[in-house]
Structure 1
């Protein structure tokens, strides 16, 4: 928040404190109803947009089950340490979502693909024994929700201290197939949702705020009233948030503790240790699945990701003819918006073309140009958009301060 206020104060100094304070009249006598003013201020725009951005980047996060504490760092200092660690992890994801929300789309479509694949694999056990394995089970497993506990020294723990090994859905499949697990986890989807910390009330408020932003944009466009670049950027976040709400419909949120499937008083059995090493470590923070692999089963995921990334960048093109502080900034906004719109589709197309040509001495250089340079340019473009949308808030035309009937709809701002 401080940089934003600093920007506002600095702009006021540069412009010689060019401020305007509207004066609204009040009734001379008691009346039954007083309508709201038909104007809005700079801070009205700022607060409503900031709240929507926070809502879009905080409530959409469905993070993995965190590392289990297992009695480490006892006392109040330890409690504070682990709370800060949890908050910092969420905050980093929130910042990442603000910079590149398309990446979160990619992660979630990949998670859905993995969950669907897991349900197909587990179907044989469900048919045999009536065991239950839903997409919610698979998503929860891939979040690190199921664990095996052993007691050993692993470099991080003291001798005899409890060690948690997070499993993924394919680990559980292998353990069930070789008989280590006599049955799939006897946990219902309702019990998994009971561990979810998703706040339905907060999410409803966030959705209403998103719908209000969309209604505001439509009303202003229909009445020919100017909007701010910040509102356009927030509209893009709102669209991404609605997609993420849909993608995460069956995924628990905010789970802090895992469900123990197996517990060993001593070290982990060798065959389980080999399984975890062979099929990926116990960790749950795996890299994002490669949805651009070209596999037929990934086609829907790929197209959904490319469509969302194109839409997110394309929405910024709405501000093509908006008022900017300088013509150079207007040109930079246009060029950046176009690049954000086509960046991922071009990278995907370049990767597909690269896979069709035989290896040669230029292969590595082409690979770097296709997959190395675009993310850097994309990051710079996003930083420019973020800075510019706040800067332009101080140079809006007069009609941008005219309020619409949306001001009478309950919202945060």
Structure 2
């Protein structure tokens, strides 16, 4: 009998076409991939896909000058933890920064003569769903805006106005013939503007990447002057945090070149040089995820069971790809900020505990009003992450207790963001923001219950990889030929 290693080596090879060499040995011209996979293949495919997605999707802000290396690494590890155990928070943070960057770019194009370059899709979105006019635009252009727009923009609710005072509140049309006759519009092409029209002497167009660079604290005053940030109190925790101020940003970007705090005139290529991830790296990530999706879809189509680890990886990668899409124009892992008005002192970097509060503030509804589109986005993202875990309901668990815990954790992950939105909706109308019981309930739900549920889903997925049915090791017919990092 041949040795076991020789038997395994012979059984693993199935030549479709053979021919004889000059020395009499048999050579194979083509060998099909084996129709099975091992536990290590499943584990490595999921871990490599999940690691690539989370690592490349996370776009940290620019670290403050003088920040210790351990703090920079700690912040990156924190966001990797968020991407692994709270992926919805990663997507919502990306959504908040995406909204800020787009708003800054659109307002610069409408309110100033700074040369701007808007992506084609943003131009189309603004045509269909224009950004609401701000108080600054009303003050600047209110004299020539159409009367219904002016009334809608500046009049208080009629319920708070006495009838005899209503006439005094209605603005009168301007009689100055020198004023423009059309409302502000977007400027798509910076090349059509003359050098004299370029505000602040800027030669390079301000793009969406510039706006992201500003939102991520890429431009920093060395003496600590918050020239486009402001402090506000997080109403759900009472913590004072620093947030991006679009009005201040517009003032600084459009400032004259001789202003000591004018923003450096960086080109898009300069921002690409500062970024540590290019389009090719992102394209490879998309390919890896596409192969993983094709593998899962083929297994589902051919009635081959999925492991819980593949289901969890699918849910995390969906969130990571959405975050990557929202951060597509954001520079990745920029090492240092562009200093403005360099002086002798440096601002203090934020504490780690402030990072969580600031991230929450970007995505939660405001205290005075409920942002309906943002609320819908929160619900959609919750469904995006939670729905794939419903596939685990049909998986064979080692025990019934594990199956019930999986179902409970899945419903908790789906319902927690929905409950949060409902709480803020009720709190906005009842005026209960900032109350101790509300703060405690939010912290228990979002800081304890939700992370524990996601941790269980990830942990149970890793455990179940060692208790799989036989069908989990069969390969689909097509995807075995797709190359990936596994």
19, 43, 48: which is aligned to 1:46? 43
Q: Compute the displacement of 1:234 (Å).
A: 0.6
User: 1:409/1:358 Cα in 2 relative to 1: closer, same or farther (>3 Å)?
Assistant: closer
- State the match for 1:248 in structure 2: 327
1:107-256 equivalences in 2 (<5 Å):
107-123=93-109, 124-126=111-113, 129-130=198-199, 131=202, 132-150=205-223, 171-175=248-252, 180=259, 184-256=263-335
User: 1:227/1:290 Cα in 2 relative to 1: closer, same or farther (>3 Å)?
Assistant: same
- State the match for 1:59 in structure 2: 56
Q: Compute the displacement of 1:184 (Å).
A: 4.6
Aligned partners of 1:407 and 1:399: how far apart in 2? 15
Preserved contact between residue 370 and residue 425 of structure 2 (Cα < 8 Å): no
76, 91, 106: which is aligned to 2:92? 106
User: 1:378/1:366 Cα in 2 relative to 1: closer, same or farther (>3 Å)?
Assistant: same
Q: Deviations over 1:147-204 (max 9, x none)?
A: 22359xxxxxxxxxxxxxx997655445467874585532223322221111434333
- State the match for 2:119 in structure 1: none
Structure 1 residue 412 and structure 2 residue 485: aligned? Answer: yes
Structure 1's unaligned 5+ residue stretches are: 1-20, 71-80, 152-165, 269-275
- State the match for 1:316 in structure 2: 389
Aligned partners of 1:368 and 1:232: how far apart in 2? 32
Aligned partners of 2:315 and 2:432: how far apart in 1? 39
Structure 1 residue 382 and structure 2 residue 370: aligned? Answer: no
Preserved contact between residue 316 and residue 337 of structure 1 (Cα < 8 Å): yes
423, 439, 447: which is aligned to 1:350? 423
- State the match for 2:77 in structure 1: 91
The 3-state SS of whatever aligns with 2:465 is: helix
Calculate the TM-score normalised by the size of structure 1: 0.76
Aligned partners of 1:400 and 1:359: how far apart in 2? 51
Q: Deviations over 1:75-123 (max 9, x none)?
A: xxxxxx73x5544432221122101011111111111222233234434
Preserved contact between residue 142 and residue 169 of structure 1 (Cα < 8 Å): no
User: 1:305/1:391 Cα in 2 relative to 1: closer, same or farther (>3 Å)?
Assistant: same
Aligned partners of 2:112 and 2:332: how far apart in 1? 27
Calculate the TM-score normalised by the size of structure 2: 0.65
- State the match for 1:337 in structure 2: 410
The 3-state SS of whatever aligns with 2:341 is: strand
Q: Which has the larger radius of gyration?
A: 2
- State the match for 1:160 in structure 2: none
User: 1:359/1:394 Cα in 2 relative to 1: closer, same or farther (>3 Å)?
Assistant: closer
Q: Compute the displacement of 1:35 (Å).
A: 0.1
Q: Deviations over 1:12-37 (max 9, x none)?
A: xxxxxxxxx99535448433211011
Aligned residues: 355
User: 1:365/1:219 Cα in 2 relative to 1: closer, same or farther (>3 Å)?
Assistant: same
Aligned partners of 2:342 and 2:442: how far apart in 1? 47
Aligned partners of 1:303 and 1:344: how far apart in 2? 11
Q: Compute the displacement of 1:135 (Å).
A: 2.5
Report the aligned-residue RMSD: 3.2
Preserved contact between residue 263 and residue 340 of structure 2 (Cα < 8 Å): no
Aligned partners of 1:116 and 1:250: how far apart in 2? 11
Q: Compute the displacement of 1:329 (Å).
A: 0.3
Preserved contact between residue 255 and residue 262 of structure 2 (Cα < 8 Å): no
Structure 2's unaligned 5+ residue stretches are: 1-7, 19-25, 115-196, 225-242
Aligned partners of 1:220 and 1:25: how far apart in 2? 24
Aligned partners of 2:379 and 2:78: how far apart in 1? 24
Preserved contact between residue 221 and residue 261 of structure 2 (Cα < 8 Å): no
Preserved contact between residue 136 and residue 189 of structure 1 (Cα < 8 Å): yes
- State the match for 1:11 in structure 2: none
